[in-house]
Structure 1
């Protein structure tokens, strides 16, 4: 049974799947660098078994609400990497009530988080997101009240 699927750096591949045709036991999906980015796939009906989603290189996404309707509430881990134009996570992921690990990497324009981050979060990783780093780093930072409940926070250049 296929549990892990990785589809990256295939610029000629349109990897959107017809609804319901995902492997039924899929646990982890890694995707990015495709002809048709996930933000344009439309509703996908991911299997309930999908708990780990890793998204790369989505140049057209400015706000997380463009992706949120596509994401299953079963996710416990979400990685967002290389979203060059992503500016805000302020709307969208509220339905991800099982999310425990959120990693955001190489999103240079990102400067906005949810008003209230999900209480289920155990890990927040921010790497190479200079605007967000400035707003999150240190106890006196702009977002400290929003992130201080998270047990493991790492912020790097």
Structure 2
């Protein structure tokens, strides 16, 4: 098992413990983004976006100020809203239509978030380094992201 996977296993356990018995969605989102931001290396942003009125709308985040509205199909987050599948982008400068909310971001992962099998929004992680994210990130972030709805996984 890689160090990255060990870190994520601990992070998943911590997230479940942190959110146990808490039902407030904003409190849960706030704690998850903070936990991820302060637990994983090389991040400059961790953000939830909610799918509302055919766009993604900013929710709790850690990092520099973030984009507040992202149209479906635009940028990495909007692409995930359109496809409802994870996007791992080793170099955001090579991603057609990338939206640079933070100009120091160089790689990104965006995972779709589901609540009761319905698309709810996305969890977006940005890094100032290239090639930061991989399938291990995808696997664990898809398990952690929906914990905001209660400590069980709704990953699709």
TM over 0.5: no
- TM-score normalised by L of structure 2: 0.26
The higher radius of gyration belongs to 1
- Structure number with greater CO (CA < 8 Å, separation at least 6) is 2
- Greater helix proportion: 2
- TM-score normalised by L of structure 1: 0.25
